[in-house]
Amino acid sequence: MHPSAPSRPPMHEAAIPFLLIGAILTGIGYLLAVKKQIELLSNYDIRTVRDRDGLARFTGRPMLVLGATGIGLGIALVFRLIPAPAEGYLLPVFIGVLVAVTFYVAFGGGRFLFPPENP
């Protein structure tokens, strides 16, 4: 590279967590929503699942959306498409949304289970 040639700006360090989290969530979301591998879910006894496909869609789709959002934010940070003052708020807001969706999925998945037996 010629010394007078403009150098490419370095990748923004904040992009790495978004890209990693996004890739992991997209992979898990794919396994749940498309491959129907609900065995990956904790706190669900497979024998009590009434609607396997419904539970897989209910849990997998939000993960796919969150994963795509994380990857999109990471790419936006790499190419510096987000103004500098807003960069500091992205990760806390993304983690807050991630926690909220996790609670929604954890407590909303009961409708796909058989009702508990009364003694």
Q: What does the pLDDT look like over 80-114, one tens digit per residue?
A: 888 878 888 888 899 999 999 989 988 898 889 88
For the four alpha carbons of 49, 53, 56 and 57, in that order, the dihedral sign comes to: negative
Is residue 5 over pLDDT 60? no
- 43-51 mean pLDDT: 86
pTM of the complete model: 0.82
Task: Give the domain extent around 87.
Answer: 15-111
Domains held by the chain: number? 1
Asked if residue 4 is part of any domain, the answer here is no
| The pLDDT of residue 23 | 97
Q: Is there a domain that residue 9 lies in? A: no
Q: Give percent of the chain above pLDDT 70.
A: 89
In Å, how far are 10, 34, 49, 98, 107 from 118, measured between CA atoms? 61, 34, 17, 35, 21
Tell me whether residue 117 is in a domain: no
**To the nearest whole number, what is the mean pLDDT of the chain?**
86
